Homo-oligomer: A and B are copies of this chain.
Amino acid sequence: MSHRRETLVLEYPAHELSGRPSPEQWLETFHARLKERGLKSTAQRDEIAKAFYRMGRHVSAEELYGEVKQSNSHVGYATIYRTLKLLKECELVSERHFDEGQARYEVFGERHHDHFICERCGRIIEFESTQIERLQQAIAHEIGATLTRHKVELYGFCRDCRGTENK
């Protein structure tokens, strides 16, 4: 009996993302979903979407605002938030609330994964676990509930920050 891999740790730098559509495909999908909803494509929406995609994972509205400002100094915070909301509605982005004040956003529709967050350096490591997925379904079944989504977050000290806790 083969030993199937149940847990997979994924830690990619922003420039090395797997399982993603190309930026062009992604933007096209955005345009299509906007059209479906009778909404318009605009230069700002494209800029924001592209900047977001380029930045990789776990981006805050503030960070995105900063990035977009670099190329186009004339976007307002409001448009950032409005576009992020749109991208959520178009199911291209998902919103996460880690234990900070602000929300973070990531490209949606990749394989489901969960997060480890280092409490010292803020590093976020992603992982997938089919066992955890299965267990969650089992628990939902026991409760008598239907699951729409779920969230597993581990907090602690990462490899590099272990042993520096008391510094």
| A75 within 8 Å of B (CB atoms) | no
Residues of B within 8 A of A127 (CB): 139, 142-143
| A136 within 8 Å of B (CB atoms) | yes
> A127: shortest Cβ distance to chain B, in Å?
6
Q: What residue of chain B has the Cβ atom nearest to residue A8's Cβ? A: B142
When the two chains form their complex, are residues B97 and A142 in contact, meaning their CB atoms are under 8 A apart? Answer: no
Which candidate, A25-33, A45-53, A76-84, A146-154, is the interface stretch facing chain B?
A: A146-154
| A140 within 8 Å of B (CB atoms) | yes
> A57: shortest Cβ distance to chain B, in Å?
16
When the two chains form their complex, are residues B146 and A155 in contact, meaning their CB atoms are under 8 A apart? Answer: no
Residues of B within 8 A of A97 (CB): 97, 99
